[in-house]
Amino acid sequence: MNAPDRRPVLLVRPDGNERDAAALDTHGIASSIDPYLQTRACDDPMPARRLVGLLSAAGAQAVLVITSPRTWGHLESAAGAAPLERAAATALNQGLRVFATGRGTLDTLPEALAARAETAPNAKALVALLNDTVLPQIRALPMPVVEALAILPGSLIARAELPEGLRAGGWRVLQLPVYTTDSRPDTPTSVGALACGAHSAVLLRSSSAARALARFAGPEGIGAGTRVLGAGPTTSATARDLGLDVIECTCTEPTALAAEVARVLGAPDTGWRDGGEAPDELGPDHPSRSPGVANSPLLRAARGERPERTPVWFMRQAGRSLPEYRAAREGIGMLESCLNPPLAAELTLQPVRRYGVDAAIFYSDIMVPLKLAGLGVDIVPGVGPVLDHPVRTAADVDALPELPDEALDPIREAVRLAVAELGDVPLIGFAGAPYTVASYLVEGGPSATHEHTRALMRTSPEVFDRLLDWVARADTAFLRAQVLSGASAVQLFDSWAGRLSEADYLVHAQPASGRVLRAIGRFGVPRIHFGTGTAALLRAMRDAGADVMGVAADLTLARANDLLGGRTVLQGNLDPALLSGPVEAIDAALEQILTEGRLAPAHIVNLAHGVPKDADPQVLAHIVDVVHDAGAEKGE
């Protein structure tokens, strides 16, 4: 039996790749996300503005059909959110019905529309619903004879299946193009890896994707043994016309499509699983479901809202410069502290009591999952994590023990104890990203060059990727235990990813981090992703599955917002080096950070790294006061 192909599948949509990646996860198939496409507003804003007038006059004879999560945001940008929502409210009062394809689209609509919207899984089902059920209802209304009107705002290059099906059924269809999709202006980083055969396949979801692949790579730029997979006949036909050797998949729904991809790649029906808990596994009593925590400034900002004040917290062992922290830990080792539930809970709570921050970060360390799995590891004062036996061969990886569920009981108890004292302050769960943890495993301890890690990645990529998978499983179990016990958000911390090129990150690190983030994303809690020295990786790290991107000191927030297209919540980024300087310099930096943070959808203030051990607690308290006093008013 052939060994499974561990090379990742390349996903190139402009957005929405996470659903395909999550479906591939269930078959043990790794994926890399590097968009070859971009969406942008149409040059002509009039169709979006026309919709405002149409909605104001619409009544029970009309339906509004939204088929993409991208549509409403582009409508708001062109027509204005307030006029659009007022017109929609008027239309709803006059009997307009709203339809959306899929949960993802529904979640992007304003609350009033989403509450009244009816859904169908795809265009074919929507045509059947509107033609067979809704149209007869409209024709039966006691009103003068009018044409039933279907209003379809959406893409300039939308597929014809929906409008043609509705016209054939008897609707008058009005299409309003508000955005379009085309190739991104710069060459994607993954083009080089694709040519070298670093990917098992590239998945094309649209004709636009096929054209982008042909533009950036072409038939000759796709490595031997790399399949080109087309989702559906239209996409596949376009790919063939462009000279691409495409394998046509008949399904487009993510779960069914992933099963087809698995068959093409020869992947087993069962593979690496992420645990299976859905968001409703948290239950109504989970802290994130309580009104106080759900409406806390931290969680509101993480959802992209603008709370009354900008939230602020300090990452990692946030209280380690406090005298009460040193007193509590006197004579107790780092890992021992993390695995003592009452002590870990106390150390989690100390920064909240002292500073009044808007979230608690769970007191832990990235080595804790390794310790719980039974590996010989210690944190040596003045040195850092040290492993008894480095992991550098296939046999070493094969010998790694899985993390037993019962070993996580001290983590669960510590989280429960902390949450019981936090009230409406959310707890953030914490883990080290797979690449960083794997680097420590390979090096056996801290390293300035990561020589052994880079050697294993390049000479034995299959072995290195299996090691990353092992860490991803341990990370997922570790974070799941925290979330199920009461954490309302998580942060994945990647200390060493900044040492990688973007190409290596996409092929090796992103697939593993993505599996962790997607597994936790199923709970519905916000996911923060942070790494040091990762300016060149910011988009790729976001695309791994982050809701909030932490920004280190190597980028301004304004530049980070530009790189992420202005659509991602930012966290950061006060340089910890400023904490030992004059307060005037801190205040000036905070003013710039708060100003630039207003450019993003929302902003959470934090340091650009962890709290230094010698930080003055009064300085940290001052930072919290400045941020809270500044409020969250948007600049001009």
Helix-then-strand count for the chain, H and E: 30, 20
Rounded to 10°, the helix 461-485/409-422 angle is 40
Give the Cα separation of 508 and 511 in Å (integer): 6
Burial zone of 193 (CB within 10 Å; 0-12 exposed, 13-18 middle, 19+ buried): buried
318 a known binding residue?
Answer: yes
Q: Which of 559, 593, 591, 587 is nearest to 573 (CA)?
A: 593
Residues 274, 365, 475, 543: which is the catalytic one?
A: 365
Q: Which residue has the tokens 């695309």?
A: 543
473 is known as an active-site residue: no
306 is known as an active-site residue: no
Residue type, 315: M
Residues 300, 320, 527, 542: which is the catalytic one?
A: 320
Give the Cα separation of 618 and 583 in Å (integer): 11
495 a known binding residue?
Answer: yes
Residue type, 77: S
317 a known binding residue?
Answer: yes
Residues 7, 13, 329, 522: which is the catalytic one?
A: 329
184 is known as an active-site residue: no
398 a known binding residue?
Answer: no
118-120 and 384-387 as β-strands: parallel, antiparallel, unpaired?
unpaired
Residue type, 186: D
Residues 13, 19, 205, 316: which is the catalytic one?
A: 316
Give the Cα separation of 147 and 23 in Å (integer): 41
302 a known binding residue?
Answer: no
What is the C-alpha end-to-end distance of the chain, expressed in Å? 64
Rg (C-alpha) for the chain, rounded Å, is 26
Give the Cα separation of 308 and 256 in Å (integer): 43
505 is known as an active-site residue: no
Q: Which of 230, 215, 300, 222 is nearest to 261 (CA)?
A: 230
Concatenate the DSSP letters of all residues of 61-94 into one string. Answer: TEEEEE--TTHHHHHHHHH-HHHHHHHHHHHHHT
Give the Cα separation of 363 and 63 in Å (integer): 52
364 a known binding residue?
Answer: no
Give the Cα separation of 46 and 50 in Å (integer): 6
**Tokens at 485, concatenated:** 């016990």
Burial zone of 376 (CB within 10 Å; 0-12 exposed, 13-18 middle, 19+ buried): exposed
440 a known binding residue?
Answer: yes
365 a known binding residue?
Answer: yes
Q: Which of 205, 245, 200 is nearest to 9 (CA)?
A: 200
Would you give the DSSP letter of residue 448? S
3-state secondary structure of 205: coil
Q: Which of 201, 258, 248 is nearest to 226 (CA)?
A: 201
Would you give the DSSP letter of residue 514? H
Residues 36, 179, 363, 440: which is the catalytic one?
A: 440
316 is known as an active-site residue: yes
Residues making up the annotated binding site are 316-320, 365, 440, 495, 609
Residues making up the annotated binding site for substrate are 316-320, 365, 440, 495, 609
Q: Kindly list the catalytic residues.
A: 316, 320, 329, 365, 440
